[in-house]
Amino acid sequence: MASQVAAARYGKDNVRVYKVHRDESTGIQTVVEMTVRVLLEGDIETSYTKADNSVVVATDSMKNTIYILAKQVPVTPPELFGSIVGTHFIEKYKHIHAAHVDIITHRWARLTIDGKPHPHSFFRDSQETRNVQVDVTEGVGIDIKSSISGLTVLKSTNSQFWGFVRDEYTTLKETWDRIFSTDVEASWKWKRFNGLDAVKAVIPKFDEAWTAARDITLKTFAEDNSASVQNTMYKMADQILAAAPLVESVEYSLPNKHYFEVDLSWHKGLKNTGKDAEVYAPQTNPNGLIKCTVCRAGQKAKL
Ligand SMILES: O=c1[nH]c(=O)c2[nH]c(=O)[nH]c2[nH]1
């Protein structure tokens, strides 16, 4: 053989799971809907090189396992459920040494009817999702990255961009008042957990960190008189690190969704630029894309 398997993982993707919790005493039901991916690694090379299926846990069995565990254990917070699922696979199968569990949780917000929270009806209030990537590695521990994705925001003033490089490639005008809109992708990486018990010991921290990350993102977005996407996202990440001591790094990826002024002066001298701008043309592409990873001072982020 002139080749060998350098890396391999396989599993089930897009496993859609819904779980309801019924509180019999109050009649209040609570629902969770998620999309799960499980990929396994281990001594599985021979399935690729020698058609040896004896090392293959069928992806169909992985799907079944996700449903069974969802029935037997809590599916929230997703950091816990991902850790339980991943740990199950490395403990159940001797030759499986790592499990990568990705969970996307979709929003089902409770409906308010006649001013009252409805006991069993919900609506999709946003395409925003809460996500986790959980890597469970035998002999190493559990690495968790939690994130917010698809949180679309816009502010109509208090965003500036000036002082940037001006040279023979530059046409962009400096601005002290522009529109800032983005789809927030924010993630926070937890310090490594030794194992499932270490995850279970801090269960409330996961919802707390998600709430803090979301609140900080929205408050800073609204209140910062932004000098740039770069500076505003750094301020967000810095506050999340301060709020969540078990988090070792925070990452943002923000598209800059441009809104261009439309010059209408050709039509009877209509004023619609600078201070007179009211009608803008939202752009789909190209868009800026600004990213950063922020860790604690003096520490190097493990990426
Ligand atoms: O906040 C911004 N950062 C940039 O790097 C950039 N570049 C650009 O053209 N507009 C902006 N805005």
Give the pLDDT confidence of 30-49 residue by residue, as tens digits.
999 999 999 999 999 999 99
Please, what is the end-to-end C-alpha distance for the chain in angstroms?
34
ipTM field: 0.98
Per annotation, catalytic residue among 12, 97, 100, 189: 12
Cα 147 to middle of ligand 1, angstroms: 24
Alpha carbon distance 68, 92 (integer Å) = 14
User: Domain 7-139 is of which CATH architecture?
Assistant: Roll (3.10)
Cα 173 to middle of ligand 1, angstroms: 11
Say if ligand 1 is within 6 A of residue 256 CB. yes
* Token pair for 88: 């199950």
pLDDT digits (tens, 9 = 90+) for 229-238: 999 999 999 9
Give residue 1's pLDDT. Answer: 77
pLDDT at residue 301 greater than cutoff 80: no
Say if ligand 1 is within 6 A of residue 161 CB. yes
pLDDT digits (tens, 9 = 90+) for 207-260: 999 999 999 999 999 999 999 999 999 999 999 999 999 999 999 999 999 999
Q: What are the extents of the domains in the chain?
A: 7-139, 150-303
| Mutation choice for ligand 1 from 290, 291, 292, CB with most ligand atoms inside 8 A | 290
Q: Buried (b) or exposed (e) across 60-70, using 16+ Cβ within 10 A?
A: eebbebbeebb
| Percent of the chain at pLDDT exceeding 90 | 98
> In sequence order, what are the beta bridge partners of 226?
159
Give residue 299's pLDDT. Answer: 86
Q: How confident is the model at residue 302 (pLDDT cuts 50, 70, 90)?
A: low
pLDDT digits (tens, 9 = 90+) for 255-276: 999 999 999 999 999 999 999 9
pLDDT at residue 77 greater than cutoff 80: yes
State the Cα angle at 12 between 8 and 17, rounded to 5°: 150
Per annotation, catalytic residue among 59, 76, 129, 293: 59
Cα 74 to middle of ligand 1, angstroms: 43
* Helix, strand, coil shares, percent, the chain, to 5: 25, 40, 35
Alpha carbon distance 207, 104 (integer Å) = 15
Say if ligand 1 is within 6 A of residue 172 CB. yes
The dihedral over CA atoms of 50, 53, 58, 59, expressed in degrees to the nearest 10, equals 10
Q: How confident is the model at residue 149 (pLDDT cuts 50, 70, 90)?
A: very high
Contacts 24+ apart (CB under 8 A), 155-162: 155/179, 155/180, 155/181, 155/221, 155/222, 155/226, 158/224, 158/225, 158/226, 159/225, 159/226, 160/225, 160/226, 160/227, 160/228, 161/227, 161/228
- The three-class DSSP label of residue 18 is strand
Give residue 300's pLDDT. Answer: 75
Identify the CA nearest to 226 among candidates 180, 195, 270: 180
pLDDT digits (tens, 9 = 90+) for 180-211: 999 999 999 999 999 999 999 999 999 999 99
Superfamily of domain 150-303: Urate Oxidase; (3.10.270.10)
Say if ligand 1 is within 6 A of residue 150 CB. no
Residues in CB range of 251: below 8 A, 6 or more apart: 186, 187, 188, 189, 237, 291, 292, 293, 294
Cα 164 to middle of ligand 1, angstroms: 8
